[in-house]
Chain A
Amino acid sequence: MCLGIPGQIVAITDEARQMAMADVSGVRREVSLAPVALGPLADLVGAWVLIHVGFAMAVIDAEEAAATLEALRGLGEAQETLEQMAEGAKALEDQ
């Protein structure tokens, strides 16, 4: 359930109604910043948000995203090492 997609806030369009233009891969749509308007709206320009049914529901945390990817990179490297070891072992067996 609940299709949500990342988009970047590019401009505030209606301060009073907390509306802003968001860009998703070059597609623009006006969204409400109401759920993420904890401070001045202008601070959100440039931020990546998670958009659901026309609302910016969360500001995406770049550090958390990087941490997730970093952990995966470690796993990927470990996997490559494992595969190389397996290949090495197989090569030895084949000899």
Chain B
Amino acid sequence: MTLRDERVTLAHGGGGKAMRDLIESVFTSVFNPPGMEDQARLMHASLQEPGARLAFTTDSFVVTPVEFPGGDIGKIAVCGTVNDLAVGGAKPLWLSVSFIIEEGCEVALLRRLVASMAREAEKAGVRIVTGDTKVVNRGACDTVYITTAGVGVIPSGRDLDARSIRPGDVALVNHVLGDHGAAILAARGDLMLSTDLESDCQSLGHLMEALIAAAPGTKAARDATRGGLASTLNEMAEAAGCSVELDETALPLRPEVKGVCEILGLDPLYLANEGTLVAFVPEAEAEAALAALRAMPEGQGACIVGRAVPKGNVPVTLRTAFGGTRIVDMLVGEQLPRIC
């Protein structure tokens, strides 16, 4: 079926034929969900294994611009939810997807986003099984917002939990830091910066499986999205009941990310990532974990960034290149570019 309109109108959200045409032409023909009821009816062998647990998560995605170097809002909506499942030790299986579309949004853009989602879902080994669309007045949202929910299965005996982190455990990342945040800042255009940076947006399900296989003692992992590595580590350290010490000289950063941060007075530790996780593993398994991560394309930048230490006054500190120490705090509000 072809769609005559080039732009989405309120009619496409009206519940009538226009809406059905949009959904069939743009969404279901690509996602190809199982069955056409208002619900997905699902079965998976891994769910029936004794001790297996269901993992369930949801996330909403709002990003300007909706297409950017290295990805788009559709790709992020798949990666983000897949990653929320994966870093908790779940094997991601199914996603739901819900679009809030601004009146006037180009249908061609929606098609590109949907294709991008389908591609990423296939790569991540998940199916998009159900969804919804709504159309809102111009100005009521910014082009398109996407909400995804995801279901996965945690195999029996696997229990990743930040509370199990102990002093001496090593903190690893799989990728250089801050690519997404810096790429988006540049892509927005209002700061008139141009770079070759691309978002690190990628699904981490396969990488997590490889990590756990190589380092079965892996304690916990999180994806360092909004608020960056700094905020993620603060959350983990608070849960863990120990502190974390980062090594400034070990932090992996691209020169361009450093450049963006120098120009705008930002701290790369707080820049968002969309395909970067931080995992705590026992020191004895650190080398095996690194080797496993580096063997995969998603983990080629893997390295140790710090370690858990006995609980101090603050959750996260950073040892500077000169042996000084500073606090790495939670972010207060949003990081704003500064001149002074």
Contact = CB atoms under 8 A, between A and B. Distances in A.
Is there any pair of Cβ atoms, one from A and one from B, under 8 angstroms apart in the complex?
A: yes
Nearest to B256: A26
Contacts of A52: 339
A3 B193 contact: no
B301 to A, nearest CB: 17
Q: Decide if the interface of chain A is mainly helix, strand, loop or mixed.
A: strand
B188 to A, nearest CB: 13
Range for the number of chain B residues in contact with chain A = 10 to 19
A3 B192 CA distance: 17
A71 B242 CA distance: 43
Interface in A14-54: 24-30, 51-53
Contact of A27 (B259, B265, B338, B340): B259
A29 B340 contact: no
Nearest to B262: A5
Contacts of A91: none
Nearest to B196: A26
Contact of A25 (B186, B259, B338): B259
A2 B259 CA distance: 17
Contacts of A53: 339
A2 B196 contact: no
Contact of A3 (B195, B196, B255, B339): B339
Contact of A29 (B193, B196, B255): B193
Contacts, number: 43
B260 interface: yes
Nearest to A29: B193
B134 interface: no
Given A3-B265, A5-B262, A5-B263, A28 B195 contact: yes
A3 B340 contact: yes
A24 B339 contact: no
A29 B339 contact: no
B311 interface: no
B194 interface: yes
A92 interface: no
A30 B193 CA distance: 8
Nearest to B258: A25
A24 B262 CA distance: 9
A21 to B, nearest CB: 9
Given A3-B265, A3-B338, A3-B339, A27 B260 contact: yes
A52 B263 CA distance: 8
A1 interface: yes
A44 B193 CA distance: 20
Nearest to A51: B263
Given A3-B339, A52-B339, A29 B263 contact: yes
Given A2-B339, A24-B259, A29 B265 contact: no
A1 B338 CA distance: 10
B194 A28 contact: yes
16 contacts: A2-B339, A3-B340, A5-B262, A5-B263, A25-B258, A26-B195, A26-B196, A26-B259, A27-B186, A27-B256, A27-B263, A29-B192, A29-B193, A29-B194, A29-B263, A52-B339
Given A27-B194, A28-B194, A30-B192, 7 more contacts: A2-B339, A3-B265, A5-B262, A24-B262, A25-B255, A27-B186, A27-B259
